[in-house]
Every structure is written in structure tokens, then in C-alpha cells.
Amino acid sequence: MAARLSLTGFPGKHFDVAGHDLFVVHAPEVRLAAMHAVIAAATQSIRMFFYMYADDETGREILDALIGAAKRGVQVQLIVDSFGSADLDYAFFEPLVRAGGAYHFFSTRKGFGYLIRNHQKMLIADAAIALVGGFNITNQYFGRAGEDSWEDLGLILSGAEVARLANYFDDLDRLSHDGKVRYLGIRGVIKNWRPGIGEIQWLLGGPTNRISPWALTLKRSLQVGKKFDIVSAYFSPSQTILRRVARVAKRNAGSRLVLAGKTDNGATIPAARLLYRYLIKRKARLYEYQTRPLHMKLMVIDDAVYIGSANLDVRSLFINLEIMVRIKDAALAAHMRGLVNLLVEQSEEQTGTLVKNRDRWWSRFKGGLAYFLVNTVDYTVGRRIKFRLLRNR
């Protein structure tokens, strides 16, 4: 029998949706407690994939928890992306292997697959409990890096739909088990994925010769949506998605975009600012979050909530492997809009006057270059380039 996560005393805001228990985990200490709770709940299996895993306090703490699970007889399978975790020594996970667990790196460093990142984050216990979100396994994502700690979000889901996510993980494992990624096989999995038609849907993104299930669902939701609240760390979408965002904003002046005012990637803010003038002219309300670097990926479109790994940029929409969960529930949507209210209070609104004062030929050039780097090359390239962010207060 699959494990079930006890609701008593568990951190996070609880919701019951379509026979599933949901926990919104926002604060860094709550997210860390959630990871430990899911690992501790496993009695049979742990499936875990993360883009970034670091040899730091948090990485060692989670590794110890996985080793403890393996020693109590849980089958532990861990995959980390070789590009996102490039600084991690392969020997770091050997204690997990000695305890009976298994791991490998998802490697796309050769051939055409080099352009693709497996940007997903998921932790699954017993094919019954799943934790997804935007955060990785490093100190920055759990409030342990001071001012450089990220603002982020996660969601625990317990119920029947988790089994589908576990099956998907098994496909990823099979198609990359020796570190060599079977690109065509993964492309087939993404292409043939069906999110389902219920209140809870798993949306996959990745490289296909057609629009991915994640991007297609977002496109359709924006086409018919009446109001949105979007929080996105990186915002440089395709022209199609940008136009649909603008149309919803024009129809409903209450629609809001909360974007990064601080980041570790010097390219992403200029890339987003390149689009501000267009959006503000169409009545979009734009905010740059100021308290700490923003890494959250949250979208609320009418009564549907999207949480996961995908930013609103071309890489996340069409190139990288991504996972988002869509939950249609009015109570959850209202709660998440309350979270957006809190972020807005800690943000600087981007007005037409502010954008005009900041708009110079040099800022436009930087924005165009940044847009290209973020969407076409790679996030890590942007991190190496020191854009001086022009501000006007």
C-alpha cells in the first residue's frame, strides 16, 4: 500500500482538490521541511530529479535524508542535470550508492542535445506524494545565503494523479539511465503526453516539432482567460504568448505581472524590460520585486493555478524540459492571489514615466542582446555578463 502523508502538523497551507491533498509551501523553512516530510513519508520508493544540486549545507542535509531512506529499505533513485549541477563532483553521491540507493547525471553535453536543459524539479514518494516547484537543492533556495537567497514556491500533491508523474519519471530514468540521453525517445514522450481533463493536470514542456503540452495549454488559457496574476523570475516570452498576455491585460486592468527586480543573472532583467513599454501601453500592471532575488514560477489565470519549474521565456516554453502542475480550484486561486498581493507590496511598480526615463538607445541595445542570450543561448551565459541595470527612482 502506498504511503500517505499525514496532514497533522504538516507545514504549508492545505487544500483538498478532486480527492487530492495539496500543500502550498512558500517560506524557505517550510519548503525545506516539506522536502524532509516527503522523504520521511516514503516506505517503498523515492524518485527525485533536480536541475541544480550543490555540495553545501542543504545538499548534504538532503543527501543524508536520502541515505537514511535507503538504509530503511526504500528504493531511492536520484537524477540531477549535468549542466545545472556542473560543479558537483560525481563522487558526492557515492555514500547514497553504498547505502543501497542509485543516482546518475542527466547529461546533454554532446550533440544537438547540448542546447537542451532538463530544468525540472520533482520529488516523488511511493508514487503517491509529489513535491514540485521552482527551487533547486542549494543554500540559496532555502534562506541560507543571506541577501542572495531566492524567493520561491513549491507545492506538495498527494493522490491518484501522482502515479502518472512517477511513470513519467521512470521514462526519464530509462532514457538517461547511463548518463547518455536518448533525445528522440524523450521527444516522443513529450510529444505523446496527455495532461488529462480533470482539475489536476501535469503539463510537460520540452523540444518537439510541435508546441509542447505545457506551452499549448498556456496559450489556450490566455486566449480565453479573463484575468491573470503572473509571477515569473525570467520573462521574455515568444511574440505569440506576449500578445495574448497583452490582450488579457487590456480586457482586465486588474491583471498583474510580478517580475524580478533583483537576480543573479544580469541578462534577464534587461530582457524583460525590453517588453515593458509594449505591455504598459496595453494596460498591463507591471511590478519588479525588490526584497530578494525572485525565482518563483506562478500563474493564476481565472480559477486555474500553475506552479512548477517553467519561466515565461522561450527556453522554458519550447526548448527546456519542464514540469508544471495545473490545478483548477477557486479557493486555491484566491489564496495564490493573496500571495501575489504580498509580493506586490514588496515591489516597485513599473509606470510609463519610469520606463520612458529609463529608455535610451543603450538600454534598448542591452535589452535586445539580453533577450537573445536568455532565449537562444543559455541562462548561464547571461550570468557571466555584467549588465549594469539602469534604475530611475
The CATH number given to whatever domain includes residue 45 is 3.30.870.10
Residue 392 lies in a domain: no
Helices (H), the chain: 28-41, 57-71, 94-98, 162-174, 183-192, 213-224, 239-251, 268-273, 276-281, 314, 330-345, 352-358, 361-372, 379-384
Question: Of the residues 181, 210, 229, which one is the last residue of a structural domain?
Answer: 181
Indicate if 236 and 326 belong to the same structural domain. Answer: yes
Residue 124 lies in a domain: yes
Indicate if 152 and 36 belong to the same structural domain. Answer: yes
Range(s) of the domain holding residue 214: 200-381
C-alpha cell belonging to residue 92: 558526492
**Considering only 24-28, 40-44, 109-113, which range has the smallest mean pLDDT?**
109-113
Residue 131: pLDDT band by 50, 70, 90 thresholds? very high
| DSSP per-residue codes, 111-150 | SGGGG--B--EEEEETTTEEEEES--BSGGGGT-SGGGPP
DSSP 101: -
Alpha carbon distances (Å) from 29 to 67, 354, 357: 21, 36, 39
Residue 106: is its pLDDT beyond 70?
A: yes
Indicate if 141 and 232 belong to the same structural domain. Answer: no
Strand 235-236, strand 312-313: pairing: parallel
Q: What single letter denotes the amino acid at residue 170? A: D
Alpha carbon distances (Å) from 291 to 16, 96, 148, 346, 389: 31, 37, 10, 6, 16
- List b or e across 220-256, with b for residues whose CB sees 16 or more CB atoms inside 10 angstroms: ebbeebebbbbbbbbbbbbeebbebbbebbeeeeebb
Q: What single letter denotes the amino acid at residue 285? A: R
Indicate if 230 and 310 belong to the same structural domain. Answer: yes
Q: Which residue has the higher pLDDT, 115 or 301?
A: 301
Indicate if 100 and 172 belong to the same structural domain. Answer: yes
Q: Which residue has the higher pLDDT, 296 or 7?
A: 296
pLDDT score, position 184: 86
Indicate if 76 and 170 belong to the same structural domain. Answer: yes
Residue 252 lies in a domain: yes
Highest mean pLDDT among 98-107, 202-211, 373-382: 98-107
pLDDT in tens, 328-351: 999 999 999 999 999 999 999 999
Question: Of the residues 147, 181, 215, which one is the last residue of a structural domain?
Answer: 181
pLDDT score, position 370: 67
Q: Please, are residues 214 and 310 in contact by the beta-carbon 8 Å criterion? A: yes
∠ CA(130), CA(125), CA(328), 5° rounding?
A: 20
Indicate if 334 and 290 belong to the same structural domain. Answer: yes
Indicate if 366 and 217 belong to the same structural domain. Answer: yes
Q: Please, are residues 263 and 289 in contact by the beta-carbon 8 Å criterion? A: no
Residue 188 lies in a domain: no
Residue 284 lies in a domain: yes
Residue 386 lies in a domain: no
The alpha carbon dihedral of 81, 313, 306, 141 has a sign of: positive
Indicate if 311 and 348 belong to the same structural domain. Answer: yes
Residue 227 lies in a domain: yes
Indicate if 54 and 169 belong to the same structural domain. Answer: yes
Say how many Å lie between the first and final Cα of the chain, rounded.
Answer: 59
pLDDT in tens, 34-43: 999 999 999 9
| DSSP per-residue codes, 343-368 | HHHTEEE--HHHHHHH--HHHHHHHH
Indicate if 130 and 101 belong to the same structural domain. Answer: yes
Instruction: Tell me the C-alpha distance between 31 and 28, whole Å.
Output: 5
Alpha carbon distances (Å) from 20 to 6, 16, 172, 277, 333: 13, 6, 25, 42, 16
Indicate the pTM of the whole model.
0.91
Give the strands of the sheet with 45-50, arranged side by side: 13-17, 20-25, 154-158, 129-133, 121-125, 45-50, 75-81, 102-106
C-alpha cell belonging to residue 112: 544537438
Question: Of the residues 128, 154, 181, which one is the last residue of a structural domain?
Answer: 181
pLDDT score, position 1: 39
How many other C-beta atoms can be found within 10 angstroms of the C-beta atom of residue 32? 21
pLDDT score, position 166: 97
Indicate if 125 and 92 belong to the same structural domain. Answer: yes
Residue 107: pLDDT band by 50, 70, 90 thresholds? confident
Instruction: Tell me the C-alpha distance between 215 and 4, whole Å.
Output: 32
pLDDT in tens, 51-96: 999 999 999 999 999 999 999 999 999 999 988 898 999 899 999 9
∠ CA(89), CA(104), CA(82), 5° rounding?
A: 55
Residue 195 lies in a domain: no
pLDDT score, position 112: 55
Percentage of the chain modeled with pLDDT above 70 = 87
Beta bridge partners of 36: none
**Number of domains observed in the structure of the chain:** 2
